[in-house]
Amino acid sequence: MKEPLITHMYTADPSAHVFEGKLYIYPSHDLDDHPNRPAPDNFGSQYDMVDYHVFSMENMQTPPVDHGEVLHIRDVPWAEKQMWAPDAAFRNGTYYLYFPAIDHEGIFRVGVATSTSPAGPFKAEPNYIQGSFSMDPCVFVDDDGQAYMYFGGLWGGQLEKWQTGTFDPDGQVPGPGEPMLGPRVAKMSEDMLSFDGPVGEVSILDEDGKPVTAGDQARLFFEASWMHKYKGIYYLSYSTGFSRHLAYATGTSPTGPFTFRGYILSPVMGWTTHHSIVEFQGKWYLFYHDATLSGGVDYMRNIKVAELIYNADGSIQTIEP
């Protein structure tokens, strides 16, 4: 069994990036069990996180350094609760921390905070990114400098409630034979604080070029999209939810369409996992989470890492946790 990277606190949803020659990890922070935790439900109320820590590693042999709390929900004017999976990016001397939270109207939005250091602390913008919704932001900066944000998640992430373009509290997931809901993507503006244009849906196709359907649990997009590029090909990876795989699809454009290719990671202990993929010191790594540290309590998770291996045809070898 691969050991947890961090054991002094519960961490999940690791977003890993190389900044200033070091590996930085931006996870969510699961709280220790407490009597006021909301009861588990289909909307993830039990994941009642309120802050973020940042960790750094000089290399893959040294333990992560905890740089402490870098942002708390009390310092985010628009946010009420549930600071879930974050991501980070860098441009023009500024580091950006992107994070989802439920606003004071009960709607998931994506916010951004800035710092002059990859280790924080971060100062939140007074409002969420206009046009943002749902959760699990991933910001990918392409070789030409254009940045894109990918986001979205079903159920607790409310993605199904945005099919009309506005929030519909009664919105439902598509029927089993209908095309599934894909993650959303938007170009980022030059200042990295807003969207530059409309939000689009990412299309994920099967081997016959047809959209994956909502009833295809083995390939369903549920949450946790991540984008990386390898040898000129764009890799969109995501969690399938109920079948509990990390799946991936490839394409020739950052906005899709993408063709399903297979699985990066088999199911872990816990409900599902959330990941990132990064190249560091000549090797590729998958960062993910499970619930081994707490003995299987899914809202008290821990992050892990495994080396990622590509085959000659660009496919990824499935990792067994």
- Evaluate whether 285 touches 278 at the Cβ level (below 8 Å): yes
Q: Which two tokens stand for residue 195?
A: 């969207």
Spatial separation of the C-alpha atoms in residues 239 and 213, rounded to whole Å:
15
Please confirm, yes or no, whether 223 is among the known catalytic residues.
yes
- Burial state string for 40-49 with b = 16 or more CB within 10 A and e = fewer than 16: eeeebbbbbb
- Say how many residues make up the chain: 321
Marked catalytic residue, from 13, 30, 216, 298: 13
Spatial separation of the C-alpha atoms in residues 277 and 280, rounded to whole Å:
10
Please confirm, yes or no, whether 13 is among the known catalytic residues.
yes
Helix, strand, coil percentages in the chain from 3-state DSSP, rounded to 5: 5, 40, 55
Strand pairing class (108-115; 94-103) = antiparallel
The owner of tokens 């750094």 is: 56
**Which positions ≥6 away from 296 have C-beta within 8 Å?**
269, 270
Marked catalytic residue, from 30, 160, 216, 223: 223
Strand partners, 71: 52
By annotation, the residues acting in catalysis are: 13, 223
